[in-house]
Structure 1
């Protein structure tokens, strides 16, 4: 059976609420017993809350697939949750079994599936429309997992994924994986016919979870490999025509479809949440230039403390518990960041990165995480969260 979950779009007052909504949806699906979670959407916004939700779902036996994005020929940004450790990032291939020009490439690509010239139901005269995108590819990858699980209901999420990887159509150059199609193209027919050894039930078969747990790893994404390494360079001779980006105008809502139990998974949509987030980011930046203090209130988990006049207590700028950013206070009256955060009357705690350029969410365990606000830098323009 299939459980559809509608994830609301963000609004102008909270442009980066996407990760929070998505985290709640993932947890809800896991609590309802979802085995295969298909996420045909993505954005560059991210938070530790999303990392925690993914780990929560994996711990409850779920297998998560997410679209890597349709901007491979437009800047190739890293999108979440596909780049989140523990999520199977899915890219798209065309009829020639090569990465489509628009399919996002990088180390976040774990597997690929057909995503070009796809047909789905629509409201036109024929009732059928042609589409393309990593959203469609992700739906097929999720459906493959559901089919395998239906034949082997006693397997765990790790075993289903391992069989998918063991029966995958790998890169033709002999590499184990590359940044264009990941480990290869899913082949459900082979997986159903000759699945091979599913391996240990409690070991996640992809390396990103273990890599993320290492001290030197990035806290929130799959570690990128330098271009030029064997198997890491995207295909350059694809013949498919460039497709429109997934970031096109949407209606403000995104569909997150959760597959429960066995059966094919059909996913309609894709890119809607990314579009809303991107569009809201632009409007938030405009507001930030007009009124920096108002812009600061738009960030995720920003909570005002009007009853706390005077100095606001902040964590020290150094130490292992606060290695990912510095704490500053926002001077609400002056609409500016304080360079001496020990003596400013402010209802907000501001977190900015060491570089002072792009804000980052702090680790989820920090006490400031529940009441932080991101900085409105410089003239108040809102920087993009990565």
Structure 2
């Protein structure tokens, strides 16, 4: 539960986000960005849960529709038009995620044959796998809150097309691309994201488990082969990182794994130990670097706030371990208790960025929307951390 002193700030912040990005009142040319909007959907749902105000649920549903009609379609500066899936207009409305979803970057994607420029690539559009998994998760939460299986079907259709496009055979197994073109026809960045396979494994498992709770979901979409692929890739991936956003992602995935294990929907018990085992050293390294002693001008809020969100899942894990001792090895509780010693980091991060003078730094204003929503999610992370 968020503190009463933060409730007003949270509601004001998320209403301002809706107005500033063209969500409410609705704009003909809204500014949509897939990562930020995935967090925003979950935060609106959590505000609905916390306040009982149906207006926040309505904002979450409106945001889903706007994302699909903006990022599921070609850019205004692209000679192509319509759904990026190439589906006819009416069919695209029924299956808005069938071609994936654009990132929402300001620049168009690199043209085929155009030289690669690492600096420019960060500003170019395309599709990121780890953004798509966040949107799958957001759609799953909308389905759970509304009871409408169409949102889960859209999430599973997105999982299917993303898996087909981003994975490829290599060395007797599978590997992944980090970034694909808008139409998913060619890789834009061949390297594999460090935690992308883990995100895929956990998210596919979340969706597969959710089908059992929502009769009417299209059962013909079976993610089991994709789950097996991702599990195979995960066995070869080094998970340790000292990047705060990466550590937060590990803890987010660990929280979801714990919930899936309680429900009997997870068959890779040893992986939770590996994930927690990677998060622990990462936290030690991050804390030792002393980043949180720096002024706002030298800090990236959204990366730190990603850690704060992930740390919010640790008490949930500890509670799960205590309430379901038969489902977890005792070593997992010891790992989580060691990580819990770093919970004050999350509080320090939130307090720092709640201070208005720190939000005047260029590092905040240059990334205002993603920073704003990540701060809001860190204050109300309940829905985001659910499966």
The TM-score, its normalising length taken from structure 2, stands at 0.26
**Which structure: larger Rg?**
1
Q: Considering fraction of residues, name the structure with more helix.
A: 2
Query: What TM-score, normalized to structure 1?
Result: 0.26
| Higher-RCO chain (CA-CA 8 Å, sequence separation at least 6) | 1
